[in-house]
Structure 1
């Protein structure tokens, strides 16, 4: 059968559509195009540096219909692979990209194994074509992600990982860098987040001779702190959406307020989306290292002998300090090295102070960390420096001592504490924060007048020595649950109607204690403690004598076995003196409760509240401050060292920046009227702006506040006018 006006050989798009619908009917046309491709390929091999549009179109056509003729297309993918392997660096950029797209299409139809294609693409990363490298990187990440979507093929992943790890050692810097970027991206997408990946990046990437590969590996271990802060931080101009919406109901409606409401609605919508998203927990790669001690030593040795830029060395110091702090490593050469950098004029000195604090832990001997403490004290905390420098130095000392309390000697601590009465508030607040730290950890190092009022928590503290581990076999504060049991028992007795005298008096005595009543006030103050009690002395709460007498008369007799529990109840009620023996009884009670009770969420909330009360009882302090002191994260925040208690100077550049920012979304000059067309007429109100005052002064008279009599006259005239109109 002869087809007249057959245009299919010249219209590949139409032929492709027809073949997909009916492959058998158009097999002859397909074979004809396949023969054309073979001829075009032979011609192209003679000069592979030129772009061949015909080869591009024919290869994409054959890839689109390959699934319709499996036998004929069996060797087609290998021919494309051979072109890319033999001429990968000499091919034209557009030709190379077109052939890669053709192979991706064949890969999606399972004509090529994923490993063969990825191996080829990794070799193509050496090409001097930035657009191609980004395209291949995106495809490799997406392909590996899709293969691990439903289930992970461990054998394939292991084979592919070994190949990618070999690419990190590649002499070509661009191929090695892109391979590392792919590994890091797959780790952050929770696809290859195993120990093997992390340790290969540590052993190969961090010690690469290529600076870009080394820096990318160090950034991987430092995490995404900066990016997360930028994403999660709200602008200073944002306000509480709920407050703004409520205020808008009652305030006068203006265009400015309307814009604010629209802005607030967008903020509220964004906050709602954030709340609906499931929380993402990024586990730090530093925890997955097999040999953190060896890695830290090797990296420190490399950093000492390298000639890299100062910024790269800072990154090395940051990684090493985090390793030392997280894994409690011993790297004694690190502290004298960093002590030499602790000078006020040093670049990025606050970050170096942060590294010194991060590298501190309880197992570091005091004589090893002493050079760092002395360098900070001598170079920062002296009156020849500015107050900001002194405050930063005191903050750094506090952060180091929070992680290593024995890092400072008693004499040096008492000298630094003397700045608590300094004339500048920034220095004074920094010194007082150091006092608060040691009040909660080792008050015996402070002078007696600086220890503050003795609290229940201070009685529980023990003087630590080097290497001491405070391991508890009970839940601290769980003795407060005993009070809850007593209350529930009394409620049951009331329901049953047991109204005996002993029970009545008992129920009168044991009442529920809220957060204010359960605090144990201490009569001794911090300033008068020189004349008062020693550590083990009695702590007493003020109470009425009438209540004491009544409670003694009405208190039922208890068995000998329950005397300890009775004492604990009295202590919780503030009806009895508190000393170290009572603390031991409370510990024993907490131990017994922990053995017999399964704690609920409500129980843990009560325990946490009781632990906070131990710190604040007898001392007027902010509750949030106590909670912040008790929580010490794994890493030191730079804001904790740069926290200076005073307002920054609003210099000319800062003011100018604020002014220019406010001009961004408004017209340059002129009155902003509501006309959509500037050529249309203006309203009388707008025209009045340009008129002479003599012409409008009778209008201005109405703006003066009228007297009550004038209002009456105006209202009478209005009523008369309304009556006439009817």
Structure 2
């Protein structure tokens, strides 16, 4: 009898016994189950009564629910209903305990992930506890990540995406209040409901962004959820959705940064040097360095734009028109920063999909003024929205307004350079938007004394030398453009595209380089090699920068259907083609024919290492062209190739697709440092220079001190003291004063001697 009482009263002990033998202790469990039902009814009426005991019973039943599935079939539903319907009256401890128990039931297989997420999603906008909110958020993300780890769980993903889409859609019929004057009161009766719908939609957007960022979702459905959030009545939801497409991070909570902790590459390399050299250790170090490089590139590329999300937009033309309608309709309700976000997204969608939203160019005219706040960002968005299919008639008023507001003697040099750079970027995408008379006036600014203005005007001049030299005066066209016009070369009219490419630029150089490597290697390239080592040189990170002659890369399949395959990075096309070595130091080398079309792309799979080597060969060829007197055109080509290589090495492969504010501002003079900056620079320059200071009178004495003014005067050059009062006084002394001074000196010397 005492043992039975002890089992029933001690819930942890009873829980342990039930897990060992559930059938033997079913009666004791049913007793606790009935006790739980009676307390639950009391708890729903008065949550403060027996709260601690109720929490213990809930935890006990959650631990052993899988042992009695028939008796506890309604238990998860009861917890979910209690949490959702009586959330406001529950204490924080009870809320957290119920959520933890629901997660435990899911881990034990009592409920599914969908049933758990249906309970957790509505709690995010309602909870005020940061601890519980963080726990719910991490639980949702980890559960979806675990379900999609081995393969895509389409059933769970569809259910979760439907819930998130519903969370955003429920508040779409609200009133757009904007973010200008954030402290103003909302209409009575709708403020609370609209705020709840805004918080709900905000969490839906945040969770979708997190799942996209971690690579769990990468299709068009999460993009559609965030795209709907761009038109939500809440400006906060709009801002979060706009930042998603613009590629910038604006989070409301601290995210889980466990995956972002990059390994210490330097310590791993040092450890590799001092430990025993093994092949597995080398492979592990290369794999770690490759993963760290990919993470760094993803982080750097995120500052430009979410280009994959822009490409996955459904019906981008309608999306762009809705953005413009929202921008135009609620112009007085949005702040300038929020309107610039909408402009940037509209411009990038228009550029990526070559859309036509003509009303935007009329709308932006009122913001084209040199005293407008954040005008560089507005001008960058304006230039970004232009493409080769934009009608020139819509851009002519814009260019005229830019010239009238920015390019005249009444403004500063930086304003003029910004205006010229903006016009240049617009005309780079649509040259037919420029008028001939205006172009003649603008290129005259290349004679300005300011370096930024001169560079901007020369850039505009050089652009039209390449795209349409007929609009320039004869003396401004240059030699190459004049020769092209004499041969009958004319720019393509509006709406006409250039001829389709038939070859990859510079592929002949790569073909000749691989032929030369194969000639040097001879038959040695046919030797067997390790399968693991054969794949090391296919990517750019593991490829050497000096040469690609190590024979590593993708598999080249012969065209005759032979089953034999060889792993070689230098395997290329049929040897019947023309062979030539690239270089001018070899006396008997053959120069590749510039009109020859390479067949390398049709006979070999080009790897990232091949394209990297191709870029290096193009840079080498451009460098030789510059050294042999190729002129300014060769120098510009070399500069563009080097800039593209630098952008690719930093991970910003799409940097030429988007315009930044620095492209509009151009090169600027260094601002004058203030007093604090000058003092900080002086203090920094004095660091570590104590050993160069004088030791006299400071450290050679028992009591460190500086020298006196008389001691300092003795070491001064005569020209520094010629104008001093003492020297001038000696020149004006009388004969009697000189005698008295000499007698005093003699008496003082005698006293010192004796």
Counterpart-to-counterpart distance in 1, 2:521 and 2:59: 83
Asked if 1 retains the 8 angstrom alpha-carbon contact of 2:354 and 2:389, the reply is yes
Q: Describe the SS at the equivalent of 1:311.
A: helix
Identify the residue that residue 64 of structure 1 maps to in structure 2: 63
Deviation of 1:463 after TM superposition, in Å, equals 2.2
Q: Where do residues 89-100 of structure 1 align in structure 2 (5 Å cutoff)?
A: 89-100=88-99
- Within 1, Cα distance between the matches of 2:123 and 2:516? 75
Give the whole-Å Cα distance in 2 for the aligned partners of 1:111 and 1:299. Answer: 46
8 Å Cα contact 2:414/2:668 also seen in 1: no
Residue 392 in structure 1 maps to residue 406 in structure 2: no
Distance 1:27 1:96 in 2: 28
Match of 2:324 in 1: 300
Matched, 1:691 2:702: yes
Quick one: which of 217, 228, 246 aligns to 1:192?
A: 217
608 and 593 in structure 1: CA distance in 2 versus 1, 3 angstrom threshold: farther
Q: Work out whether residues 619 and 638 of structure 2, in 8 Å CA contact, stay in contact via their aligned partners in 1.
A: no
CA RMSD of aligned residues (A): 4.9
CA contact (8 A) 1:167 1:175 kept: yes
Contact 2:387 2:429 in 1 (8 A): yes
Kindly indicate whether the alpha-carbon contact (under 8 Å) linking 1:455 and 1:614 is maintained by their aligned counterparts in 2: no
The one of 425, 429, 449 aligned to 1:403: 429
1:417 paired to 2:443: yes
Q: CA deviation at 1:219?
A: 1.6
Contact 2:469–2:481 at 8 Å: present in 1 too?
A: no
- Distance in 2, matches of 1:422 and 1:88, equals 71
Deviations 1:28-59 (A, max 9, x none): 65444434323322221221366812211221
Structure 1 residue 220, shift from structure 2 partner = 1.6
C-alpha distance in structure 2 between counterparts of 1:164 and 1:622, whole Å: 50
Matched-pair contact (CA < 8 Å) for 2:349–2:355:
yes
After TM superposition, give the deviation of residue 187 of structure 1 in Å. 2.1
Q: Deviations over 1:526-558 (max 9, x none)?
A: xxxxxxxxxxxxxxxxxxxxxxxxxxxxxxxxx
2:619 is the counterpart of 1:590: no
Q: 1:218 aligns with which of 229, 242, 262?
A: 242
Alpha carbons of 1:324 and 1:10: their partners in 2 closer, same or farther (altered >3 Å)? same
CA distance in 2, matches of 1:225, 1:10: 53
Are the equivalent residues in 2 in contact too, given 1:342–1:375 (CA < 8 A)?
yes
Which position in structure 2 is the counterpart of 1:146?
146
- Map of 1:113 onto structure 2: 112
**Contact conserved, 1:198 with 1:289, CA < 8 A, in 2?**
yes
**1:466 matched to 2:494:** yes
Q: Which residue of 2 aligns with 1:54?
A: 53
Could you list the runs of 5+ residues in structure 1 that have no partner in the other structure? Answer: 228-240, 246-269, 494-564, 576-582, 666-670, 672-686, 698-726
Corresponding residue of 2:232: 208
Partner of 2:667: 644
- TM-score, normalization: structure 2? 0.64
Structure 1 segment 22-171 matched on structure 2, within 5 A: 23=22, 29-48=28-47, 52-131=51-130, 132-171=132-171
1:250-329 equivalences under 5 Å are 274-275=292-293, 277=295, 280=298, 283-306=307-330, 307-329=333-355
**Could you tell me how far 1:277 is from its partner in structure 2?**
5.0
Residue 626 of structure 1 pairs with residue 649 of structure 2: no
- Ranges in structure 2 where 5+ consecutive residues have no aligned partner: 172-196, 252-265, 271-287, 523-577, 645-653, 691-697, 709-754
Contact 1:456–1:615 (8 Å) recurs in 2: no
Please list the CA deviations of residues 77-134 of structure 1 after superposition, one character each: whole Å capped at 9, or x if unmatched: 2221232243233323332222111111111111112222211222334525243444
Structure 2 CA distance for aligned equivalents of residues 599 and 54 of structure 1: 69
Q: How does 1:368-379 map to 2 (within 5 A)?
A: 368-379=394-405
* Equivalence for 2:728: none
The structure-2 alpha-carbon separation of the partners of 1:176 and 1:20, relative to structure 1 and needing over 3 Å to count, comes to same
Contact kept, 8 Å, 2:212 with 2:218, in 1: the verdict is yes
| Residues in 2 aligned to 1:356 and 1:628: alpha-carbon distance in whole angstroms | 28
Residue 483 of structure 1: how far off its partner (Å):
7.1
Report if the CA contact (8 A) 1:477-1:610 is conserved.
Answer: no
Q: Indicate how the Cα distance of structure 1 residues 166 and 481 shifts in structure 2: closer, same or farther if over 3 A, else same.
A: closer
Determine the C-alpha separation between the residues in 1 that align with 2:348 and 2:670: 31
**Cα deviation, residue 213, structure 1:** 1.6
2:427/2:434 contact within 8 Å kept: yes
TM-score if structure 1 supplies the norm length? 0.66
Which residue in the other structure is 1:338 paired with? 364
Report the CA distance between 1:395 and its aligned residue.
2.0
User: In 2, distance between residues paired with 1:659 and 1:474?
Assistant: 57
Secondary structure (helix, strand or coil) at the match of 2:656 reads coil
Deviation at 1:648, TM superposition (A): 1.6
